[in-house]
Structure 1
Amino acid sequence: MKTLYLVRHAKSSWKHDVEDHKRPLKGRGERDGKLVSKKVAKEIDPPQRIITSDATRALSTAHFFKDALEIDETNFETNHDLYDFSGQNVMRIIKSLPDSLDKIMIVGHNHAFTSVANMLGNRYIDNVPTCGFVMLQFDEKKWSDITTGETVKTIFPRDLK
């Protein structure tokens, strides 16, 4: 069985004059990152690896989950290809994950994450909000074989306030 945890980056700030890739989190994003990651840590088995987009807002969000889930540095990596908004790169990364890993968390961006959650899950999600968490499980033994799995859990910031 394979388990995929999707986390959309927390709310970012538009007040800084920086390129999109370098946009930081805003205060609400930091608060939501702490809130959701702590809730997730109480409700799931930790992933064996966290893979995050290298965009500042995604990387900052991923660090909240890394800390809450007590993931060590050797199982935390960035992947520029997760700076993807269509979902094609995200799907390619998922399908090429090492089969020795059964639980993976990826942190990235919309519209890709809503699309992937709907493509791979069995429950329609209108929009994965900022700092939204989606847990999907698959009966397959190989990541390359996954198709539609089960949407097991969602944790969204609005549900915790």
Structure 2
Amino acid sequence: MKQLILMRHGKSSWDYEVSDKDRPLQERGIKAAHLVAKSFKEDGPKIDFAFSSPANRALHTSQIFLRDIDFDLENFKVDKHLYDFSGDSVDGFVKRLDNQWDIVAIFGHNYAFTSLANTWGDQYIENVPTAGLVHIQFNADDWSKISTGTTKKTIFPKDLKQ
């Protein structure tokens, strides 16, 4: 069975005149990434490989989360296909994942992640919030054959005690 962890980047700052890809996280986004990682570490599955969008806010979120869960960063890559807002590029990326990995985490953006969480999961999610995580399990052994799966868990910062 394949499992996918979708995590949207933390709250970003608009205080700087930088390109969209270079926008940093706000302090609130950093704190939320730590909170979600702490919750995930308690009972989340062991991730085989992780990927992030090259956007600063997604990459920073991924590093906070992955370090907090004691993930081996040798099993991490940045991929331009995750800098996607529609979901089409992310969909293709996931369906091309190497089948040696059963549990993969990806860090990226909305609207793509909300759309895909609703396409692939069995729970309607109005909006995956910043630093929100959605864990979906598929009854498939080949990434190219995934379709609707089971939403195993959602972890949203607003639901965690701060």
Report the TM-score when normalising by structure 1. Answer: 0.98
| 1:114 counterpart residue number | 114
User: Is the contact made by 1:66 and 1:76 (CA closer than 8 Å) also made in structure 2?
Assistant: no
- Is 1:76 the counterpart of 2:99? The answer is no
Quote the Cα distance in structure 2 between the aligned partners of 1:67 and 1:9: 15
| 1:130 counterpart residue number | 130
| 1:19 counterpart residue number | 19
User: Is the contact made by 1:120 and 1:149 (CA closer than 8 Å) also made in structure 2?
Assistant: yes
For residue 73 of structure 1, report the CA deviation from its aligned partner.
2.2
User: Is the contact made by 1:132 and 1:155 (CA closer than 8 Å) also made in structure 2?
Assistant: yes
Percent identical residues: 47
| 1:158 counterpart residue number | 158
User: Is the contact made by 1:54 and 1:78 (CA closer than 8 Å) also made in structure 2?
Assistant: yes
Structure 2 letter corresponding to 1:136: I
- Is 1:63 the counterpart of 2:63? The answer is yes
SS at match of 1:77: strand
Count of residue pairs brought into register by the alignment: 161
Extract unaligned runs of 5+ from structure 1: none
Report the TM-score when normalising by structure 2. Answer: 0.97
- CA-based RMSD of the aligned residues comes to 0.7
Extract unaligned runs of 5+ from structure 2: none
Q: 4+ runs of 1 displaced by more than 3 Å?
A: none
Quote the Cα distance in structure 1 between the aligned partners of 2:157 and 2:65: 14
